[in-house]
Amino acid sequence: MHKNTIWYKSLLNAEKTCLKEDKIKKIHYKFDDGKEMVEEYNVDTHVLLRRAWKMKGKLGGEGKWAVEVGDPIPDATPIIDGLDISESKDQPSLLKRNTRVNIEWRIRNLPYPIETYSIKANNEDKYIIISTSNKKYYKKLEVPELYRLGLPIEQKNIDATHKYNTLIITYKKPQPLLDMDKDLYEEISKVKPMTDIPNECKAQ
């Protein structure tokens, strides 16, 4: 199924370079439409640790990297909808991570108990919608991993816990996504690591 998607084909057809640092494999993609993406993988677990996109700079200048998955890149400003990170320590801050079997979001600085939250799949708008009964918080979470493969967001795959003022939302990966993760890692394993690090990858 995933092998016929535009997303998977674009990954295979992209110009790819590989860097390996300790237990981290970094893949830099250059797509036909000029976009650039970097992925970082744990070489032991094959789990994606970070995915970031090169954004165009103002007036043609050097752009910044917008993080889709993983920890923020130092000095980068995440600008993808649903992944904004507030500078204030008191405001809710969101971090998206990837595990072998789940997509995970952690929203810090949310003190309300778990029964306060409503977490619903919204396939019409392609979001997971978070709202609170006290109307103190509202958030739309994008799940590009699913809509790139034409998969619906299923309510049964959503789970949530709350501890230490942090709301943790997990989405169980459907089998087609697990299959794509496996096949993609096999493909990028064929890209031989570079010995000279290009400038655009040093920042990662």
pLDDT at 2 > cutoff 90: no
**Residue 18 within a domain:** yes
Q: What is the pLDDT of residues 111-139, one digit of tens each?
A: 999 999 999 999 998 999 999 999 999 99
> Is position 45 within any domain?
yes
140-175 per-position pLDDT tens digit:
999 999 999 999 999 999 999 999 999 999 999 999
CATH number reported for the structural domain that contains residue 114 in this entry:
2.60.40.790
The total number of structural domains in the chain stands at: 1
Collect all residues with Cβ–Cβ distance below 8 Å to 121 and sequence separation of at least 6. Answer: 128, 129, 152, 153, 154, 155, 158
Residue 73: which pLDDT band, with cuts at 50, 70 and 90? confident
Among residues 94, 69, 81, the alpha carbon closest in space to that of 181 is found at: 69
Q: Looking at residue 156, what is its pLDDT?
A: 98
- The answer to the question of residue 130 being in a domain is yes
Q: With respect to residue 202, please indicate whether it lies within any of the assigned structural domains.
A: no
Q: Decide if 83 is inside a domain.
A: no
Assess if residue 116 is contained within a domain: yes
Instruction: Find tokens 């493909």 and name the residue.
Output: 187
For residue 13, pLDDT over 60 is answered with yes
pTM score, two decimals? Answer: 0.85
Does residue 203 fall inside a structural domain?
no
Q: pLDDT at position 61, please?
A: 62
Query: Is residue 204 a part of any domain in this protein?
Result: no
Instruction: Please give the share of the chain, as a percent, with pLDDT higher than 90.
Output: 76
* Domain membership of residue 58 as a residue range: 2-70+91-190
